[in-house]
Structure 1
Amino acid sequence: MSSAGVVHVDKVFYKIGVVHAFEHVLVVSDGDQPGDTITVTDLEGEILAERTRPTPGTRYVGNGRPRGRQPKNPGASPKS
Structure 2
Amino acid sequence: MPTDLPDDTVIKKLTSNGVFMLNKVQYIVDGRRGFQQVLVITDGDKLTVTDLEGEILIEHTKPAPGVTYVGNGRPRGPRLDP
For Structure 1 versus Structure 2, the TM-score category normalised by the shorter chain is: 0.7 to 0.9
Larger radius of gyration: 1
Q: Which residue of 1 aligns with 2:67?
A: 58
Q: Which residue of 1 aligns with 2:32?
A: 19
Identity of aligned residues (%): 54
- How many residues in Structure 1 have an aligned counterpart in Structure 2? 69
What one-letter code is carried by the residue in structure 2 that aligns with 1:55? A
Q: Say what the alpha-carbon RMSD is for the aligned residues.
A: 1.0
Higher strand share: 2
Give the TM-score of the pair, scaled to structure 2.
0.79
Structure 2 residues not aligned, in runs of 5+: 1-13
Give the TM-score of the pair, scaled to structure 1.
0.81
* Structure 1 residue ranges, 4+ long, deviating more than 3 angstroms after superposition: none
